[in-house]
Structure 1
């Protein structure tokens, strides 16, 4: 992770429209995501977590680049990318989807936004889906245009985010439903606003459609949020593991299929739609999987931060899988983790061994998510 005073990646790593604002507001370190700088450090990550769950935080997530799909065949092509059935997706709706390859492996897990009948955005996790989609389009025979537009999202997340949005946009914004979007302006700043976010708290994403206005937008939101305790922040590893939310390259990659993650609900095989990986996913569903994702409660002293390598998981002296994401939750006062292990050992209540950098620690297999399993927190905005 680079510090704010020491950037050495060169011009091939892009800065977001909010970069200067985040440094001004205390960003102390950055990493790289989708070939862009992303703020990862505003001080104590535990305090960032408490800010998120108690009041609200504003996060620069312009790294969630958009793949824009337009043209007469945009709906057909967008469906070709994902096994989730989009046939009933309305204009103004958002959906969490998986993008799969011919083997059923996961290439990305974006949010799809439908702005118009033939206008879609894929709001990406960390992989080059623009190139994948442009390559597929060449040989698809479909009439589509695929590009990366000038769109840069911010995430406003936390229980007070609804009141901050109300202060910015008026009472009507409170009618925006979970996983729906609206095109709006804020003092002439063109935006798409959605009730989505990578936190499992009440939250919104504000998609700026003019990168020249990033600094202005950031300051307007921070000013409106000041009475409600808004703080600059970064996406919280603690909160997302509590919620069982997945991180691409950590919890899944092109060698992971949806059924291993318990995400069969995002695979609709009983449709006429032709999507990449359909035959492979049908075979996997028929034969079953050899690995399954589980939750773990890991014993021992509190972890001092998220894992930076995959930790081996063992049973009776045999390696059976790996921990993909682990963190200490100050709210639950437990070390919690997501892991991929042999399906035969994925039994709730059983114990396994985790190799914490050479030290073997016992861990209990538990269900996910670890907190708010019914996802009630994102559902109802507070009113000022």
Structure 2
């Protein structure tokens, strides 16, 4: 009943029916589109990702295409990160900021051609922002939403799945690189990216009418690897230090609030949008920060959900709130994120969280919690 009511204003992915047939049980809304988020037990899906392979419908990651003679200049205007070394066939994780330095989006940038880029958007109207900027930039660019629907194949055995699907050529694809491919007449863009912290790939289908064909071919290729259809796994993304727009940081957050300051190059010669504000913020500091929390070992799996969105205290004084808390089966403890006063954001500081089931002690911890050098996705 809920879907039938919301269908009037929200879009369905080209893979919607496929995901539904395979057991999608709950959805989130991302970029005005339903995205399957849970099929079964989250811990079982976690182990499927860690040990085998998983298939996700992520068509809600809408693409913003920037093309034309001034495409490079325009992207440099949007993005605070230096793109000097981003060659054709490479990808970059970037932030898009407004004039006040606030994060509008944190997409993956894919450079398909010399003068063609895709921004694979997180949850905000990035297409409208880019179109608005283009109106006043005085540059020769076209801003469009291309026909491109992505899925993700993530997990320990994802390379094996991809080789069965596309052949040995995909085995040489490097982390944060892309290639174009064809499968049964379907035009694809393949990237070594993903939202899991594990080895993984994204496949962008350019002929969305054939979504069902691609879905079934991936499942067939995944059978020997025990591929399981799931959604993005919250446990694994928190372990990997991946943050989510809206849920982990509010609209007024800047890269310096959420640990993404490494994506800002204040020495970049281009006067990118937000540069003046970000230079000031870098000098003055911020009032709060998003930090990692590592709970004491006494916490159990069943308690994790009751500690999300709860008050965080230091010496009896409330200094912030948690944004997400999960139980990591691999680390055998609860971990999560919290937005807290900058004065309390030093690594190792002891805090307590007032959960629905009582108080739990924790400390400020470094993100990521697991595989800090990103060896898993790079292998």
Give me the TM-score of the superposition, normalised by structure 1: 0.94
Whether 1:216 and 2:186 are equivalent positions in the alignment is no
Greater shift in the superposed pair: 200-209 or 33-42: 33-42
Q: Which residue of 2 aligns with 1:118?
A: 115
Q: Which residue of 1 aligns with 2:367?
A: 368
Whether 1:156 and 2:156 are equivalent positions in the alignment is no
Whether 1:295 and 2:292 are equivalent positions in the alignment is yes
Q: Is the 8 A contact 2:78 2:272 kept in 1?
A: yes
1:229-251 CA-to-partner distances (Å, cap 9, x unmatched) read: 11101100000000110101012
Q: Is the 8 A contact 1:202 1:379 kept in 2?
A: yes
Q: Which residue of 2 aligns with 1:64?
A: 61
Secondary structure of the structure 1 residue equivalent to 2:76: helix
Greater shift in the superposed pair: 347-356 or 219-228: 347-356
Q: Which residue of 2 aligns with 1:242?
A: 239
Q: Is the 8 A contact 1:106 1:252 kept in 2?
A: no
Secondary structure of the structure 2 residue equivalent to 1:7: helix
Greater shift in the superposed pair: 44-53 or 289-298: 289-298
Whether 1:351 and 2:342 are equivalent positions in the alignment is no
Counterparts of 2:250 and 2:91, CA distance in 1: 23
Secondary structure of the structure 2 residue equivalent to 1:127: coil
Counterparts of 1:15 and 1:194, CA distance in 2: 23
Give me the TM-score of the superposition, normalised by structure 2: 0.96
Q: Is the 8 A contact 1:105 1:253 kept in 2?
A: no
Q: Is the 8 A contact 1:179 1:194 kept in 2?
A: yes
Residue segments in structure 2 that go unaligned for 5+ positions in a row: none
Counterparts of 1:332 and 1:309, CA distance in 2: 18
Shift of 1:228: 1.0
1:145-180 CA-to-partner distances (Å, cap 9, x unmatched) read: 111111110000001110111111111111111000
Greater shift in the superposed pair: 297-306 or 169-178: 297-306
Secondary structure of the structure 1 residue equivalent to 2:324: strand
Given the superposition, is the C-alpha separation of residues 377 and 292 from structure 1 closer, same or farther in structure 2, using an over 3 Å criterion?
A: same
Q: Is the 8 A contact 2:294 2:363 kept in 1?
A: yes
Counterparts of 2:119 and 2:307, CA distance in 1: 28
Counterparts of 2:214 and 2:369, CA distance in 1: 35
Whether 1:286 and 2:305 are equivalent positions in the alignment is no
Q: Which residue of 2 aligns with 1:251?
A: 248
Q: Is the 8 A contact 1:55 1:230 kept in 2?
A: yes
Aligned equivalent of 2:106, options 84, 89, 109: 109
Given the superposition, is the C-alpha separation of residues 293 and 118 from structure 1 closer, same or farther in structure 2, using an over 3 Å criterion?
A: same
Whether 1:335 and 2:334 are equivalent positions in the alignment is yes
1:75-109 CA-to-partner distances (Å, cap 9, x unmatched) read: 11111111001122101110000011111111110
Q: Is the 8 A contact 2:300 2:327 kept in 1?
A: no
Q: Is the 8 A contact 1:151 1:208 kept in 2?
A: yes
Shift of 1:306: 4.5
Shift of 1:23: 1.1
Q: Which residue of 2 aligns with 1:10?
A: 7
Secondary structure of the structure 2 residue equivalent to 1:215: helix
Secondary structure of the structure 2 residue equivalent to 1:241: helix
Shift of 1:330: 1.4
Greater shift in the superposed pair: 248-257 or 305-314: 305-314
Q: Is the 8 A contact 1:109 1:125 kept in 2?
A: yes
Secondary structure of the structure 2 residue equivalent to 1:328: strand
